[in-house]
Amino acid sequence: VTTEIRATALSELPVGEARRFSVGGDREVCLVNLGADGVRAISAECSHAHAYMDEGDVDVDDHTIECPRHGSVFDLDTGAAKSLPATSPVQVFGVRVEDDDVLVEVS
């Protein structure tokens, strides 16, 4: 079963930046505001080792985020790792913006 959980207000999420929020208990997601291209949600932690993705650099045009620890770049649309050392994708969550609410799909 998939439910939508309000993670934050859109106004709390500056364009071009990533922020970490908990949704539904102890699950954490990294939300990224791509401006006109919308909001993306990926797992808060890198797939490679312990690092919080929201501390990485966002590229709004490429829809990517760079892990702050070892520099792997992840595709925010698919979660795919586009460069080493990470080889596994990060999880991607569905996101819907309704008025000022950012809703994340979790199962």
Q: Footprint of ligand FES on this chain (CB under 6 A)?
A: 46, 48-49, 51, 67, 69-70, 72, 85-86
Closest to ligand FES by CB, 3 vs 88, is 88
Closest to ligand FES by CB, 49 vs 97, is 49
Residue 70: CB minimum distance to ligand FES, A: 3
Rounded to whole angstroms, the Cα distance separating 71 from 92 reads 19
Residue 36: CB minimum distance to ligand FES, A: 28
Residue 46: CB minimum distance to ligand FES, A: 3
Q: How many CB atoms lie within 10 A of CB 7?
A: 26
Task: Name the strands in the sheet holding 57-59, side by side, starting at the edge strand that comes first in the sequence.
Answer: 57-59, 64-66, 73-75
The residue written with tokens 């006109």 in the block is: 36
- Residue 85: asked if its preceding bond is cis (omega within 30°), the reply is yes
Closest to ligand FES by CB, 1 vs 50, is 50
